[in-house]
Structure 1
């Protein structure tokens, strides 16, 4: 086993133990939580090693990095998630490789993704990104819709050709009342998810939690945790 493969295997085992322990503590089944490994800034060679080690879900946040990486790993049995802020002019590219877009936060993006998915002949899963540090009607620092905008956006996604409403996503906020309290933000997301599923029963995905707070996310009902550095190590500096 190469040094990098051994390192990734050991890191994956540690993350798996954390998820398993969090599920036990929350009274949940391990199978109910999907690990999505965030491979941003890391090379396609790492993605291939992860696939060999049994990882089936990977995520990227920049189309210019993700598109060539997904193409290079097209023969690997992977589901690709797009988790970053998405400009409408990148929708066509993202629709070519992403299976799930976690960052749907405005009507114009819904329209662009729908057109792109239809052009590509694919169905895209879409999560509404909820920003708990956003003022009403304004995007948060890292994108996202205000909580009160979720029902309308969900209706737009559900009615759009080529799109499938998957559920909701959030990133632990850096500002506002939930700053420093990710567990409370995740609990609020659970409430929003519950209301969403009353109107859209199939929209049962809850994407929350990263390397530092995955336990709190699992406790709050996350179905997908997005883990990067705990698996791949400290990120290379960009620029």
Structure 2
């Protein structure tokens, strides 16, 4: 996609975020736009960076590591948002600032052990299967508290909050309902783990971003509305 289109799209998404926050009484600065750049060439990320974008999310580890090399001159905050296999945790621990899809203690333990000591703690979000879909990754809602308690004890990582990819809702109310449940889960975790920096709800994509923001999302993951549909 040409540079101008990416910049225009990025600005349009930012305007949507501001408009939604103003409508629901939230500070737009409380919502971080995460540009989902999987399958996109490095030059597309560079164009978005030139327009002020700093947070980028990648689903495929090897592809992401190649882009990090190509864009090493840029001060990018890298988020890994795809499923993470245990044999890939070292690369994630060494190469990213955030990992959003942790749903097993084993993965968190490996990320903790493999995070280089000279680096800041790795920011972690637990992925919740809020709709209980069999085809999706994520911990069941009733198991979030026990997993979070175990993860919070690990060194070299910072448990920041929760992440979800709900099933598409056909109405605004159907879109909001799982996001409201996620916000309630995070509030329960804060009471259970008051010493943890539980400030993050990673939820909402191009089609349901407004519903997520209205429900308390602090990170929205936008790909198509910035970079266009994948070929």
Quickly name the TM-score band, shorter chain normalised.
over 0.9
Pick one of 223, 232, 236 that aligns with 2:218.
223
SS in 1 for 2:139: coil
Q: Could you tell me whether the CA contact under 8 Å between 2:168 and 2:175 is conserved in 1?
A: no
CA RMSD of aligned residues (A): 1.9
- State the partner residue of 1:205: 200
Normalising by structure 1, what TM-score? 0.90
- State the partner residue of 2:102: 104
Which ranges in structure 2 are unaligned for 5 or more consecutive residues? none
SS in 2 for 1:167: strand
- State the partner residue of 1:193: 186
Matched, 1:147 2:141: yes
SS in 2 for 1:103: strand
Q: Where does 1:1-239 land on structure 2 (aligned, <5 Å)?
A: 4-118=2-116, 121-134=119-132, 140-173=134-167, 181-201=174-194, 202-236=197-231
Distance in structure 1 (CA, Å) of the matches to 2:119 and 2:52: 28
Q: Per-residue displacement from partner, 1:206-225 (whole Å, max 9, x unpaired)?
A: 11100000000000000000
Q: Could you tell me whether the CA contact under 8 Å between 1:95 and 1:120 is conserved in 2?
A: no
Distance in structure 1 (CA, Å) of the matches to 2:166 and 2:73: 33
Q: How far is 1:133 from its partner?
A: 2.8
Which ranges in structure 1 are unaligned for 5 or more consecutive residues? none
Q: How far is 1:182 from its partner?
A: 2.5
Q: How far is 1:173 from its partner?
A: 2.4
Distance in structure 2 (CA, Å) of the matches to 1:121 and 1:231: 30
Q: Per-residue displacement from partner, 1:145-200 (whole Å, max 9, x unpaired)?
A: 0011111111122111111101001001269xx9x922100000000011111233
Distance in structure 2 (CA, Å) of the matches to 1:121 and 1:221: 30
Distance in structure 2 (CA, Å) of the matches to 1:26 and 1:207: 18
TM superposition outliers: structure 1 runs of 4+ over 6 Å: none
Distance in structure 2 (CA, Å) of the matches to 1:163 and 1:141: 28
SS in 1 for 2:100: strand
Distance in structure 2 (CA, Å) of the matches to 1:51 and 1:223: 20
SS in 2 for 1:102: strand
